[in-house]
Amino acid sequence: MPCDYKDYPANWKEIVNAILIRAEFRCELCGAPHKEEVLRPFHFPQKWESKFCGQFLSSGKKVKIILTVHHINANKKDNHPLNLIALCQRCHLKLDMKQHVENRKKNKEK
């Protein structure tokens, strides 16, 4: 889903770059490397295990990691560095899954 930048401050790209530098261009949950291709398993593990995320595996789907910046408290206006975390797509989706499910239910009701 594309990002709607109207909800972010004018200097958002600078903020993102600072968070990526702080994270050493790796997902802060699983360690997946930014802009590199890795093999990932085809499913989310039942139990959250970071070793399945950023590690090079012998089988799975080849994906290019693109890090994003996540607001921990879900408030897009709170851009304090302690509220921001660099995440790969998989970790970001996992953290936001409950919100995505709730949004889908609301949209079905309309």
Residue 57 pLDDT > 60, yes or no? no
Look up residue 84 and give its two tokens.
């921001």
Provide mean pLDDT across the span 86-92. Answer: 92
What is the CB neighbour count within 10 angstroms for residue 110?
Answer: 4
Provide mean pLDDT across the span 58-75. Answer: 85
Residue 106 pLDDT > 50, yes or no? yes
Q: What average pLDDT does the structure give for the chain?
A: 82
Range of the domain at 62: 5-109
Structural domains in the chain (count) = 1
pLDDT in tens, 6-50: 888 999 999 999 999 999 999 999 898 999 988 777 655 544 444
Q: What is the pTM of this model?
A: 0.74
What percent of the chain is predicted at pLDDT more than 70?
Answer: 78
Bridge partners (DSSP) of residue 39 are: 62
Alpha-carbon distance values, 41 to 56, 88, 92 (Å)? 10, 15, 16
Look up residue 71 and give its two tokens.
């607001």
Residue 100 pLDDT > 90, yes or no? no
